[in-house]
Structure 1
């Protein structure tokens, strides 16, 4: 009898795991220092860092382009990081739901900083703070570019090809 119950329980768990959607990626809130550490590490990876928010229509429009880059370069030293500018109190509700609903594969973090004036100039002095904005850099090769506007798929791909290792 115990064996039958265990077998039925095992089968039920297997069916449930097959039917359940894949769990969403872990999204963490980071401070500016965490972003700055990445920006300052000597590495030969091309980082494509996009600043966006769930409430920003131009940001949402360009997200598929960043997802395509993540897929296209998944086995190469090119990494996309999507930095959400949503409020930290929206992380568990709005941001995680947004990422899960759209099945985003790019790495997503939420920048937990309320005073943009305290960190924007340290990151990019020319940045007004408007989003979407994209930063592309390869520290080992001392390559850097910042774009404060919505990008088309073609513009994003051209930017990556310009700096790709």
Structure 2
């Protein structure tokens, strides 16, 4: 019985949305671990973003025992936190989901990726220890995402 509750607890924990400021994202971007970070910027109101989410979930599942971490960064307004939580629960998202609590995108986008216009979906893959970085500002096909992960994974 305790095992069941532990499992349910872990599942519930995976279903949380972490509200973050840009500093948290910047900390992740500059981390010095031998991990491939796959960071996708999306929103609940973005059709192309929603279309590609299952591809990121597949990567998360496929590489869960390897040094590959998928982080889905919602660009929804922080006051829409309940909407984001309901969205991720409905779609059973298991990847880390962050809600970026920043109102002025112009204040942080350039320092994260100077070539980014701010349009979503957008994805960055990086492994700082290996000095690997790739940025894409478009909807990815599943095959494109898989190829990028295979190319950069440790």
TM-score norm. by structure 1 comes to 0.85
> Does the residue aligned with 2:38 lie in a helix, a strand or coil?
strand
Of the three residues 142, 148, 157, the one matched with 2:131 is 142
- RMSD between aligned residues: 1.6
Q: Is 1:70 equivalent to 2:60 in the alignment? A: yes
> 1:40 aligns to what?
30
Which structure has the bigger radius of gyration? 1
Any residues of structure 2 matched to 1:121-160 within 5 Å, and which?
121-160=110-149
> 1:114 aligns to what?
103
Any residues of structure 2 matched to 1:21-36 within 5 Å, and which?
25-36=15-26
Do the aligned partners of 1:134 and 1:148 also contact (CA within 8 Å) in 2? yes
Greater relative CO, 1 or 2 (CA 8 Å, sep 6+): 2
Q: CA deviation at 1:110?
A: 0.3
